[in-house]
Amino acid sequence: MTSTKQNGEVRIGYFVCHCGHNIGATIDVLKVADVIKNLPGVVISREYKYMCSDPGQEMIQEDIKEHNLNRIVVAACSPLLHENTFRRATEKAGINQYYFHMVNIRENASWVHVDKAEATRKAIDLSRAAIQRVFFHQALEKKQVSINPNVLVVGGGISGIHAALTLAKAGKKVYLVERDPTIGGLMAKFDKTFPTLDCAACILTPKMTEVKNHPNIELMTYSEVEKVSGFVGQYKATIKRKPRYIKEDVCVGCLDCIDACIYKDGKYYDEFNVGLSKRKPVYIPFPQATPQLVVFDPEACVRLKRGKCKETCVEKCDRDAIDFDQKEKFEEIEIGSVIVATGFQIFDAKKIPYYGYGKYQNVYNALEIERLVNSSGPTGGQVVMRNGEVPKKIGIIHCVGSRDEKTNIWCSRVCCTYSVKLAHLLKELSGADVYNFYIDMRTPGKGQEEFYNQVMREGVHFIRGRVAEVTDWAAEKEEQGKLIIRVEDTLIGVVRRIPVDMVVLGVGVEPHSDADKIRRLFNISCSTEGFYLEKHPKLAPFDTASDGVYIAGGCQGPKDITDAVAQAGAAAAEALALIDKGFIEMEPNTAFISEDNCSGCKSCIPLCPYTAISFDEEVFKAKINEVLCKGCGTCVAACPSAAIDQNLFTNDQIYNEIDGLLKYEIV
């Protein structure tokens, strides 16, 4: 031992797990148990097939009692998985749970190494380090902090709406923040939803109204989260409220100002119709927008741009609701937990130039088609192309920006089924001949394969092959004036040229281009592709590494409405479980100062990201506020007099780990 600060007689029980074959096949568990048995302090050293099973845990508890153990080391899987299981078992046997330490020989060794002798040696080293470490363990108590029951939901798409409503119905106050002028998200743009073809607006708008009217929901649209501080149970967030130039509490949504605008026709890109129509500088995104408030676009409105205008809108508004002097406002809210449901964006088809999006006017992306077939869309549901004609032949290309090394490698999960849906709708509305070009048809989920079969029976053509290009270069007479889809039909092994009038690109989904901003605010990790990372891919897909921050919907990965809603409900339930417990137990891994050693140099004070360290001028010593300390240990590493230490990660513990790791000679 490198230090002599031991507490009492140390009696260690060491337990190493085979985890079936998971560890046992690569690591010689018997050998490990044998070597560790001879280390100082070790009273008992055992191996067992499944340490985490009930008999395994009982064995530990019995040994604790029988052999009077006061330290427990378990070598098994990752502490991130089972540390709590064994801590509880330790506590049950009557000793403080922090006398337990876990050694990771599965994720860190048996699963990643091939050489058995080396993996075994590593398991021994890691175990020896733990044995030396636990000499310095101390009894600690978990701290309890209260929890603010209010919840912040970021994103007002279907996931955010569902999560907010669930929480509100359970009696919790919810702040729902949406950056667009209306909630509804992508779903509000759809006409019908697959595979049941129910009308998106009919199922969504009642939920939107419910959000608006629910007394527990404070709806903050046209707003963004600017800053977040605090920690689980006690977060503070600053919300930026962008000016609509409308007094929200006065405007009744009569829309008279839109009619009165000096622009007689729309002139600006209409976000809601993804550019298929134009809107005026003052607009409402769509008729059922929630809240029913108009917005002035500062980039377009003459009054806002130049400071001068006839202001016919102001004249018309008999409620005096227009206010051109509105400024950005910042509001601070206090919440205990957060649900992030910021959704995804669609792939920009311009990135694949050989499909001609942006070059040929009759090449559309799927979202544009959603608007085009929508009865409340720019054409009132008529399938009329940009050139004013009704298409007779339509080609739908799947996997645009999905399953492609050059763009996005993942399957976007929804494109096959929405392409089938669009094929059905386009055929129904225009009577056109519709061709779908797919690599593989992927229609998992309830009722989806059935839907695909149904559409096939309706006479939609399905051709297997990745489309090589879309061109207007005609090889024959009948191709003239058409878009030609060049594809290898891999089922018959023939390269085909299929002339069509309209091309629809089944674009994939990807993380928002600014997803990083929100991610950083809430300290969420992301996967390599940029989707937010869940705590566990199977068992906690709604949870994140930040306690009290949950994720739902498309921001976590490609999802259809069904799954997004299910995940939102799960995230809300998790938040409720947290809130209704009433308090949070914190790991007691805070730092503390030994006054005798503190020289009063103040080097630690500016290091603390939570301003937990203050300086007591009277005694000329630094002090750590235990409530504010989050246990990162940065100050500990910096103290020149070694006067600061951190519970659970003390200097003694770490130095002895280092020592134990490198004492090869014992073997």
Q: Which of 3, 292, 634, 641 binds other proteins (CB under 8 A)?
A: 634
Residue with Cβ nearer other proteins (82 or 279): 82
Counting other chains too, the contacts that 492-501 makes at CB distance below 8 Å and 24 or more residues apart are 496/463, 498/395, 498/435, 498/463, 499/393, 499/474, 500/391, 500/393, 500/394, 500/395, 500/435, 501/362, 501/385, 501/389, 501/391, 501/392, 501/393, 501/394, 501/432
Q: How far is the CB of 630 from other proteins (least distance, A)?
A: 6
Q: Determine the distance from the C-alpha atom of residue 67 to the mean position of all C-alpha atoms in its chain, rounded to a whole number.
A: 47
Nearer residue to other proteins within complex by CB, 81 or 300:
81
493 is a contact residue toward other proteins (CB under 8 A): no
Residue 628 in contact with other proteins, rule: CB under 8 A: no
Which of 43, 44, 52, 79 touches other proteins (CB under 8 A)?
79
| 475 phi/psi in degrees, rounded to 5 | -95, -25
Q: Edge-to-edge, what's the strand order for the sheet holding 494-500? A: 467-471, 483-489, 494-500
Return the closest-CA partner of residue 647 out of 15, 80, 166, 140: 140
Cis, bond preceding 606 (omega within 30 deg of 0): no
Q: Tell me: does residue 651 bind other proteins (CB under 8 A).
A: yes
Q: Which is nearer to other proteins, 202 or 545 (CB)?
A: 545
Shortest CB 51 distance to other proteins, Å: 17
| The token pair that represents 244 in the structure block | 């609509």
CB of 1 to other proteins, least distance (A): 13
Terminus-to-terminus CA distance in the chain, angstroms?
17
Cis bond before residue 291 (omega within 30° of 0): yes
Q: Give the dihedral sign, CA 194/196/199/200.
A: negative
Considering only 103-111, 298-306, 355-363, 400-408, which stretch makes contact with other proteins by CB under 8 A?
Answer: 103-111
Least distance between other proteins and beta carbon 448 (Å): 29
Which of 71, 106, 192, 244 forms a contact with other proteins (CB under 8 A)?
A: 106
| One residue of 10, 93, 129, 158 binding other proteins per CB under 8 A | 129
Task: Using CB atoms within 10 Å of the CB of residue 8, give its burial: 0 to 12 exposed, 13 to 18 middle, 19+ buried.
Answer: exposed
Q: What one-letter code names the amino acid at 523?
A: N
We find the least distance from the C-beta atom of residue 518 to other proteins, in angstroms, to be 13
Q: How far is the CB of 364 from other proteins (least distance, A)?
A: 34
Q: Within 294-404, where are the H helices? A: 302-306, 312-316, 366-372
Q: Does 226 bind other proteins (CB under 8 A)?
A: no
* Chain position carrying tokens 């044995």: 131
Q: Residue 637 CB: number of other CB atoms within 10 A?
A: 13
Distance (Å, whole) CA 231 – CA 233? 6
Q: Which residue has the tokens 């009930």?
A: 54
- Rounded Cα distance between 220 and 552, Å, is 19
How far apart are the C-alpha atoms of 596 and 634, rounded to whole Å?
A: 20
Say whether residue 277 binds other proteins (CB under 8 A).
no
Task: Report the chain's C-alpha Rg in angstroms.
Answer: 31
Site for other proteins in 415-454 (CB under 8 A): none
Q: Residue 589 in contact with residue 631, Cβ under 8 Å? A: yes
One character per residue 519-538, x = contact with other proteins (rule: CB under 8 A): -x--x-xxxx----x-----
Binding track over 15-44 against other proteins, x by CB under 8 A? -------------x--x-------------
Task: Give the nearest distance from C-beta 317 to other proteins in angstroms.
Answer: 45
The yes or no reply on residue 664 touching other proteins (CB under 8 A) is yes
- The only residue of 348, 589, 628, 641 in contact with other proteins, by rule CB under 8 A: 589
Binding of residue 112 to other proteins (CB under 8 A): yes
CA 621 to chain centre: 43
Antiparallel, parallel or unpaired: β 461-464 and 433-438: parallel
Per the DSSP assignment, residues forming a β-bridge with 14 are: 45, 73
Contacts of residue 117, defined as CB under 8 A and 6 or more positions apart, other chains included, come to none
Q: How far is CA 158 from CA 116, 147, 162, 232, 656, in A?
A: 51, 27, 6, 25, 52
Q: Which member of 122, 189, 424, 427 binds other proteins (CB under 8 A)?
A: 122
Q: Applying CB under 8 A, what is the total number of residues that bind other proteins?
A: 61
Q: Quick check: 274 and 386 in contact, CB under 8 A? A: no
Does residue 665 interact with other proteins by CB under 8 A? Answer: yes
Nearer Cβ to other proteins (277/651): 651
What would the x/- binding string for other proteins be over residues 287 to 306, using CB under 8 A?
Answer: --------------------
Provide the minimum distance between the beta carbon of 122 and other proteins in the complex, in angstroms, as a whole number: 5
Out of 622, 632, 643, 652, name the contact with other proteins by CB under 8 A.
632
Report the nearest approach of other proteins to the CB of residue 77 (Å): 9
Q: Which of 85, 96, 108, 292 binds other proteins (CB under 8 A)?
A: 108
Under rule CB under 8 A, residue 121 binds other proteins: yes
Q: What is the number of other CB atoms lying within 10 angstroms of the CB of residue 375?
A: 13
Binding-site member from 15, 17, 74, 125 for other proteins (CB under 8 A): 125
Q: Which of 24, 49, 52, 111 binds other proteins (CB under 8 A)?
A: 111
Q: Which among 457, 343, 377, 416 has a CA at the least distance from the CA of 200? A: 377
490 alpha carbon, distance to own chain's centre: 37
- State yes or no: residue 52 binds other proteins (CB under 8 A): no
Q: Does 131 bind other proteins (CB under 8 A)?
A: no
Closest approach of Cβ 593 to other proteins, in Å?
A: 15
The verdict on 107 binding other proteins (CB under 8 A) reads: yes
115 binds other proteins (CB under 8 A): yes
Residues that bind other proteins (CB under 8 A): 28, 31, 78-81, 104, 106-109, 111-122, 124-126, 129, 520, 523, 525-528, 533, 545-546, 589, 607, 609-610, 630-634, 636-638, 646, 649, 651, 654-655, 657-659, 661-662, 664-665, 667
